[in-house]
Amino acid sequence: MQSEPAFVSRRDLLSLIGAVSGSAAMYHAMTSLGFASDSGYKGPIKLEGDPKGASVLILGAGLAGMTAALELRKAGYQVRILEFNNRPGGRNWTLRGGDSFTELGGASQTCEFDQGLYLNPGPWRIPYHHRALLDYCKRLGVALEPFIQLNHNALLHATNAFGGAPQRIRDIKTDFQGQVSELLAKVTQQGKLDEAVTKQDREILLQALRYWGALDNNYAYKANLISAEFRGYAKDPGGGLTAVPIPGEPVHLSEILKSRLWVYLQNFARHSFQTTMFQPVGGMDMIGKAFAKEVGDLIRYDAKVTRIQQDDSGVTVTYTDLKSAGTPQQAKADWCVCTIPLPILSQLPLEIGDRMKAAIDAVPYSPSVKIGLQFKRRFWEDDEAIYGGISYTDLPIRQIAYPNTGFNGAGKGVLLGAYLFDGPNAYEFTSMTPAERVRRAVGFGAMIHPQYNAEFENGIAIAWHRVPFTLGCAGNWSDQARGEHYENLCQIDGRIVLAGEHASYIPAWQEGAILSSLDAISRLHERVVKT
């Protein structure tokens, strides 16, 4: 068994490469939503050959920087890291009770969550095919638990459909699939597919549609115990003398179509979001902390880089110590791996070539806002049987995500009360004060879960365009920028190479940061060993 899909012949691959560029527009649409996701990792990197004491200065102790540090030291380099924050991880970040954070504009928040509760303001899920990240989790002993992306009992909500009443995902999903199957089965029976499907296949197709669509013997999808076995019941089967079940009435296809709730169904089928997904037990920053256990001795925290210079003999980085705010200091090394996010980097004096400079300037960062809300009890579980997963809405909050840990417990809980990625709502919420963001999230959320009003306790809101160490969430490559600038961004420029999710085809994912770093240090090492 290999991890490659079946049925890819080498001959086909060549023609497919041609197809790639044609689909670029759609691909961009998907990557800009943070959807692109797979990984070409083939196991731990092997940096063979002696670097002969060469030194590398790494800028940024996020996953890209710490991956580089871990592997380069192992390969024999002298390594140091400069990090802006007073903690490792960068966007690999978890907020817990007592943590405080000051955003650009000066607003400060202190997280008031109870012990054991947390919010991951940055990455929060790990696909099974992010092999590099999973391998580091394994090597570094980071415990994982499932992240529920699709919870059939979570909700889909459109303000102007169904009188504003949220619908269960299982109903919309099953009823759409059932009625689509019914339509296709009917035209198949009527012989309207004859050109596209052979007579032999037609019979099997009918059978398959009946199974797949929960159709009855006449290929109809309707209220009966067949559809109920998929969509759920009006009265559930039980025990003893009160046990007979009653099916519910499907939502008519026309209503589903007009509601546009079908747009959300793809969120459950995408490769990036397929089962089995993971989250680290205890918070995403368990990964950053595990890396720091290995390379923490190399990190200088609170170091704000202000200038990057290079010449034939090496790299000189000027930085200020944010704690002392004293005289600017300098760090020197033979080489530099720079993982500083592009919106920051583009504002620094840099001694690099025009091509890389143009590339750095060409990539805007997506806005993103995440809001964590603590509630007195896990009412979504107790009252509504929603255990983990995500409800989607066309309200400005876009999503409500339920905790994927502590299931069925008696204590309090933290919801992700809003997750705005890109789009006008993300900018709008960024422009508000943190308190106002939280207030809005509670107000909108109460339209889906009225229990918000009685159960809300406190909240915290991170708007990534106001986060001083990134000035945005993640690299938002346009198609044109990819074509013109991507390779220039990734090339080694003299003694400097860039790494991070922005230097990958998996933007906004930790896997992109790690793969980018591994690719960058492979090329750097090759050059070092050659010289």
Of 53, 106, 199, 242, the one binding a second copy by CB under 8 A: 242
179-198: contacts with a second copy (CB under 8 A): 180-181, 183-184, 186-187, 192-193, 196-198
Q: State in Å, rounded, how far the first CA of the chain is from the last one.
A: 41
Nearer to a second copy, 107 or 206 (CB): 206
- For the chain, the residue count is 531
Between CA 317 and CA 25 the distance in angstroms is 39
266-305: contacts with a second copy (CB under 8 A): 266, 269-272, 274-276, 278
Q: Does 353 interact with a second copy (rule: CB under 8 A)?
A: no
Of 98, 238, 411, 468, the one binding a second copy by CB under 8 A: 238
Token readout for 91 is 């966007």
458-517: contacts with a second copy (CB under 8 A): 486-487, 490-491, 499, 503-506, 512-517
Contact predicate 72/56, CB 8 Å? yes
Q: Which residue has the tokens 């791996």?
A: 337
Nearer to a second copy, 235 or 323 (CB): 235
Q: Does 120 interact with a second copy (rule: CB under 8 A)?
A: no
Q: Does 389 interact with a second copy (rule: CB under 8 A)?
A: yes
Of 104, 165, 435, 454, the one binding a second copy by CB under 8 A: 165
Residue 147, amino acid: F
The number of C-alpha atoms within 13 Å of 480 and in the hemisphere containing its C-beta is 3
Token readout for 341 is 């996010």
SS3 246: strand
Q: Does 166 interact with a second copy (rule: CB under 8 A)?
A: yes
Nearer to a second copy, 18 or 349 (CB): 18
Nearer to a second copy, 109 or 339 (CB): 339
Q: Which stretch binds a second copy (CB under 8 A): 14-22, 95-103, 297-305, 393-401?
A: 14-22
Give me the least distance between CB of 106 and a second copy, in Å please. Answer: 35
Between CA 313 and CA 333 the distance in angstroms is 9
441-460: contacts with a second copy (CB under 8 A): 449-450
Nearest to 315 by CA among 147, 127, 493: 493
DSSP 20-73: HHHTHHHHHHHHTTT--------SS----S--TT-EEEEE--BHHHHHHHHHHH
Is the bond preceding 242 in cis, omega lying within 30 degrees of 0? Answer: no
Q: Which stretch binds a second copy (CB under 8 A): 47-55, 145-153, 305-313, 337-345?
A: 145-153
Nearer to a second copy, 254 or 531 (CB): 254
Burial of 105 (0-12, 13-18, 19+ CB in 10 A): exposed
Give me the least distance between CB of 429 and a second copy, in Å please. Answer: 25
Contact predicate 209/181, CB 8 Å? yes
Nearer to a second copy, 328 or 450 (CB): 450
Q: Which stretch binds a second copy (CB under 8 A): 29-37, 322-330, 439-447, 462-470?
A: 29-37
Number of residues near a second copy (by CB under 8 A):
152
Nearer to a second copy, 195 or 312 (CB): 195
Between CA 75 and CA 70 the distance in angstroms is 9
Nearer to a second copy, 48 or 312 (CB): 48
Q: What is the largest CA-CA distance in the chain?
A: 87
Q: Which residue has the tokens 């002392």?
A: 324
Q: Does 201 interact with a second copy (rule: CB under 8 A)?
A: yes
Between CA 346 and CA 368 the distance in angstroms is 20
Q: Does 205 interact with a second copy (rule: CB under 8 A)?
A: yes
Nearest to 273 by CA among 524, 37, 514, 31: 37
Nearer to a second copy, 110 or 275 (CB): 275
Of 50, 194, 249, 311, the one binding a second copy by CB under 8 A: 249
DSSP 336-374: EEE---HHHHTTS-B---HHHHHHHHT-PBPPEEEEEEE
Nearest to 467 by CA among 324, 319, 344, 284: 344
Nearer to a second copy, 278 or 319 (CB): 278
Q: Which stretch binds a second copy (CB under 8 A): 309-317, 325-333, 348-356, 380-388?
A: 380-388
Q: Does 22 interact with a second copy (rule: CB under 8 A)?
A: yes
396-435: contacts with a second copy (CB under 8 A): 404, 407-410
Nearer to a second copy, 351 or 479 (CB): 479
